[in-house]
């Protein structure tokens, strides 16, 4: 009976009989199963020391900007070879001595291999940084006596390398590609983000712009825009750029970027046609475009641990590939055909989002877990992830100090390793409880719910130390929030992909009567299908944003404390029946209470609910100095001596909040807010 129920709850062709049973039971059932092979050879961890050593060596090279790390690694290689040659000449006596010699030799081989690969990657990284440091912009800025006050202005035409990122300071960060240097963040203030050449938020990858900028040290720019630190490779390129005037578009995207721009424009147009505010979420969840999201919604997503939904991650790639494999399976395709369909779908998704470095990294990490599960090789996920780490570090050494890469890696490994382990344990105990308590089998949705919760819990647990190191803030509702929105994320993502293609076709042939009307109807249908999921995700983010969160100083100490706490809690759950468990639990509670009382860790409970802003019916401006403007550029440039209030005559969607320009002058939008002026 239990085997029949477990077999019915399989996902992606992998029966939960394998998930719910222990590896030993699965191996006894089928001697040729992956569990049986894994039990005979053990978990494949041969590449783990190589990947860890390489990651540490490259990260140290990037942070310290030194070249001697590769030399140290090569010295370790030479010493390992010497010790190995010395042991080969020795002749131990006795079986135990022979086994000890073999273990030492194997350890020396592993040490030498790890040091050799780490040294090679470190040398490659050092060579690239040497080329970067010889670039004229870098040499001019670092050779100045006061590099942070370097005032020379450069002008030129650069290519946009990624999507603009709106900053909380009302500015914009635009990744641009500098010839001979790489991708560098260009920061534009609120005044320079709007100009005759268009708004900076409307820029698209591949577009060429004319810009004037000054060179800054990366540390200074990171301090001014802390939310952009994880988006840039400040370790590889030690400078950033700050615009001194508005930008001017010189050339539209071409080639692959032109196709990407065409699809993105279709997605934006289709999202605008969606009812309510649900269209603001779809572009962010599909292509990582958050320019349509208000700042309040972005803050709510950060507070509830849902900010990863508005960035292109491995989850997006996994959803796209899983959908393609599901459709191919429904059509009766074989395994290799399903994998080919998944590869084509992934290529199309990368074309939609754009072949940016972060997108390619997400594609690699997202395809690891899904392909491993679909091909019954999920036991070798550690080796596959290690190969991915080595390849990505060789391709872009700056990823070694990039928070996005670290989060993708630990989340992928945690989901594939901890997820099945926790799901198996919970499913087995839940089935026994249902049989003993209610004398019936659990329904199918119980198993699906358990998997959903365990996957979200595994991802949040393994990424918590990294988030604490990055931000010093940890939401206590991150796991419930991710579980609540997990059913809506695939629906919104798939519908958003359809909206991108249909919207692009609709915009292109809108003038054709019959075809344009037909495509418009399809866009409305796909948009309506995404409305419930988008509304639900927005509601969860805004509702749980007022829940408590833990704050601590960001850094290594907070990360280590979080790791220690997670390890202790997992040990207590694993050995809950041991004699020392109550004592350890009491010690953990006492230490936690002491840290919250006297330490730098605080539990923040938001109590102030923001007041709802209502649009006034009329505004009396009699006796005030009034300046009328007809675009945002003029509004941003008005100075305090010239006006007490600004009347902006532009029309469009209401901002939903009181507005001030950068100089602190109130701005009234009669057309946007429907306000009647009393003059």
- Domain check: are 491 and 599 in the same one? no
Both 362 and 422 in a single domain?
Answer: yes
Per the model's pLDDT, the better-predicted residue between 7 and 507 turns out to be: 507
Q: Label each residue of 153-192 as H, E or C.
A: EEEEEEEECCCCEECCCCCEEEEEEECCCEEEEEEECCCC
Output the CA torsion sign for 338, 342, 348, 351.
negative
The model's confidence at residue 119, banded by pLDDT at 50, 70 and 90, is very high
Last residue of a domain, one of 118, 133, 148: 133
Average pLDDT for the chain? 76
Q: What's CA 70's distance to the chain center, in Å?
A: 30
Q: Which residue has the tokens 């997108």?
A: 359
Q: How many domains does the chain have?
A: 5
Residues 401 and 481 in one domain: yes
User: Where does the pLDDT of residue 73 fall: very low under 50, low under 70, confident under 90, or very high at 90 and above?
Assistant: very high
Of the candidates 557, 676, 533, the residue with the CA atom closest to the CA atom of residue 616: 676
Distance CA 636, CA 613 (A): 23
Last residue of a domain, one of 133, 159, 185: 133
The verdict on residue 592 lying in a domain is: yes
464 shares its domain with 534: yes
Does residue 318 surpass a pLDDT of 80?
A: no
Report whether 524 contacts 273 (CB < 8 A): yes
Q: How far apart are CA 361 and CA 382, in angstroms?
A: 17
Would 102 be classed as within a structural domain? yes
- 543: tokens are 């509702």
> Whole domain around residue 559: which residue ranges?
552-604
**515/636 same-domain check:** no
β-strands 473-475, 549-551: how paired? antiparallel
Domain annotation covers residue 32: no
Question: Cα dist. 43→249, 367, 416 in Å?
Answer: 54, 21, 14
Q: Please report which confidence band the pLDDT of residue 330 belongs to, taking 50, 70 and 90 as the band edges.
A: confident
Shared-domain flag, residues 408 and 535: yes
214: domain CATH number is 2.40.50.140
29 lies in some domain: no
State residue 304 phi and psi, 5-degree precision. -100, 5
Residues 593 and 662 both lie in one domain: no
Alpha carbon separation from 491 to 161, 338, 485, 517, 530 (Å, rounded)? 29, 20, 10, 25, 7
Q: Which of 526, 521, 525 is nearest to 500 (CA)?
A: 526
* Same domain as 574, residue 541: no
Q: Rounded to an integer, what distance in angstroms lies between the CA atom of residue 275 and that of residue 280?
A: 10
Longest dimension (CA), the chain: 104
- Residue 481, both tokens: 């929030």
The verdict on residue 40 lying in a domain is no
pLDDT in tens, 483-500: 788 888 888 888 888 888
4 in any annotated domain:
no
Which of 550, 577, 593 lies at the terminal end of a domain, its last residue?
550
Q: What is the pLDDT of residue 253?
A: 85
Give pLDDT tens digits for 269-311: 888 878 777 778 888 888 877 777 777 788 788 888 787 787 7
Calpha distance 136→640 (Å, rounded): 40
Is the whole model's pTM more than 0.95, yes or no?
A: no
- Separation between Cα atoms, residue 263 and residue 251, nearest integer Å: 18
Q: Is residue 599 part of a domain?
A: yes
Q: Please report the pLDDT score of residue 372 as a whole number.
A: 61
Residues 81 and 169 reside in one and the same domain: no
Kindly state whether residues 54 and 170 are assigned to the same domain: no
532 in the same domain as 422: yes
**Gyration radius of the chain's alpha carbons:** 28
DSSP track, 352-403: HH---HHHHHHHHHHHHHHHHHHTT-GGGHHHHHHHHHHHHHHH-GGGGG-H
**Cα(634)–Cα(642) distance, integer angstroms:** 13
Question: For 571-583, how does the pLDDT look when each residue is reduced to its tens digit (9 = 90+)?
Answer: 777 777 776 667 6
Q: What is the distance between the alpha carbons of residues 672 and 278, in angstroms, rounded to a whole number?
A: 19
To which residue do tokens 């609910």 refer? 609
- 575 to 466, 534, 589: CA distances (angstroms): 26, 42, 17
**Count of beta carbons in the 10 Å neighbourhood of residue 432:** 11
| Span 116-138, average pLDDT | 89
What gap in Å lies between CA 8 and CA 14, rounded to an integer?
10
**pLDDT attached to residue 442:** 78
Strand partners, 174: 186
The answer on 561 and 428 residing in a single domain is no
d(CA 334, CA 398): 39
């Amino acid at each position: 009976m239990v085997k029949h129920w477990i077999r019915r709850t399989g996902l992606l062709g992998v029966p939960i009989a394998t998930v719910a049973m222990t590896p030993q039971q699965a191996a006894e059932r089928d001697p040729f199963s992956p569990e049986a092979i894994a039990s005979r050879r053990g978990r494949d961890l041969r590449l783990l020391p190589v990947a860890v050593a390489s990651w540490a060596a490259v990260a140290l090279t990037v942070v310290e900007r030194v070249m001697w790390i590769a030399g140290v690694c090569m010295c370790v290689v030479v010493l390992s070879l010497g010790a190995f040659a010395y042991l080969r000449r020795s002749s131990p006596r006795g079986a135990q001595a022979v086994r000890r010699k073999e273990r030492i030799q194997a350890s020396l081989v592993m040490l030498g291999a790890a040091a050799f690969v780490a040294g090679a990657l470190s040398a490659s990284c050092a060579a690239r940084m040497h080329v970067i440091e010889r670039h004229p912009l870098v040499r001019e800025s670092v050779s100045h006596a006061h590099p942070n006050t370097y005032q020379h202005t450069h002008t030129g035409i650069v290519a946009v390398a990624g999507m603009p990122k709106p900053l909380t300071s009302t500015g914009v960060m635009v990744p641009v590609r500098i010839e001979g240097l790489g991708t560098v963040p260009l920061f534009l203030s609120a005044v320079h983000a709007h100009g005759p050449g268009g708004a900076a938020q409307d820029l698209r990858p591949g577009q060429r712009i004319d810009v004037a900028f000054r060179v800054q040290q990366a540390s200074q720019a990171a301090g001014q825009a802390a939310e952009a630190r994880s988006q840039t490779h400040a370790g590889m390129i030690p400078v950033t750029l700050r615009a001194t005037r508005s930008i001017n578009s010189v050339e539209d995207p071409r080639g692959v970027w032109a196709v990407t721009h065409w699809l993105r424009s279709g997605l934006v147009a289709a999202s605008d046609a969606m009812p309510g505010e649900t269209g603001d979420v779809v572009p962010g969840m599909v292509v990582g475009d958050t320019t349509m999201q208000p700042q309040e919604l972005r803050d709510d997503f950060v507070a509830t641990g849902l900010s990863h939904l508005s960035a292109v991650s491995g989850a997006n790639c996994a959803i796209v590939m899983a959908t393609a494999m599901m459709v191919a399976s429904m059509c009766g395709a074989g395994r290799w055909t399903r994998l080919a369909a998944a590869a084509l779908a992934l290529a199309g998704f990368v074309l939609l989002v754009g072949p940016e470095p972060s997108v390619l990294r997400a594609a690699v990490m997202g395809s690891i877990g899904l392909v491993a599960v679909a091909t019954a090789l999920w036991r070798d996920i550690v080796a596959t992830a290690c190969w991915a780490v080595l390849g990505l570090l060789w391709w872009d050494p700056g990823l070694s100090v990039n928070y996005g890469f670290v989060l993708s890696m630990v989340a992928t490994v945690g989901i594939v390793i901890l997820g099945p382990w926790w799901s198996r344990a919970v499913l087995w105990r839940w089935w026994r409880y249902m049989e003993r308590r209610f004398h019936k089998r659990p329904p199918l949705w119980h198993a699906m719910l358990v998997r959903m919760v365990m996957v979200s819990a595994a991802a949040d647990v393994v990424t918590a130390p990294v988030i604490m190191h990055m931000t010093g803030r940890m939401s206590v509702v991150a796991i419930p929030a991710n579980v609540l929105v997990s059913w809506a994320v695939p629906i919104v993502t798939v519908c958003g992909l359809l909206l991108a293609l249909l919207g692009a076709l609709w915009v292109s042939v809108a003038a054709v009567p019959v075809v344009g009307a037909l495509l418009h109807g399809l866009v409305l249908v796909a948009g309506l299908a995404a409305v419930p999921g988008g509304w639900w995700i927005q509601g969860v983010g805004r509702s749980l944003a007022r829940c408590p969160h833990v704050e601590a100083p960001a850094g290594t100490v907070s990360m280590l404390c979080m790791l220690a706490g997670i390890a202790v809690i997992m040990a207590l759950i694993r050995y809950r029946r041991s004699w020392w468990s109550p004592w350890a639990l009491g010690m953990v509670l006492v230490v936690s209470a002491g840290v919250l009382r006297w330490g730098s860790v605080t539990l923040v409970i938001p109590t102030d609910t923001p007041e709802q802003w209502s649009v006034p019916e009329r505004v009396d401006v009699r006796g005030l100095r009034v300046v009328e403007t007809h675009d945002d550029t003029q509004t941003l440039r008005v100075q305090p001596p010239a006006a007490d209030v600004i009347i902006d005559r532009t029309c469009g969607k209401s901002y939903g909040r009181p507005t001030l320009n950068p100089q602190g002058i109130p701005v009234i939008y009669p057309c946007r807010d429907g306000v009647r002026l009393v003059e």
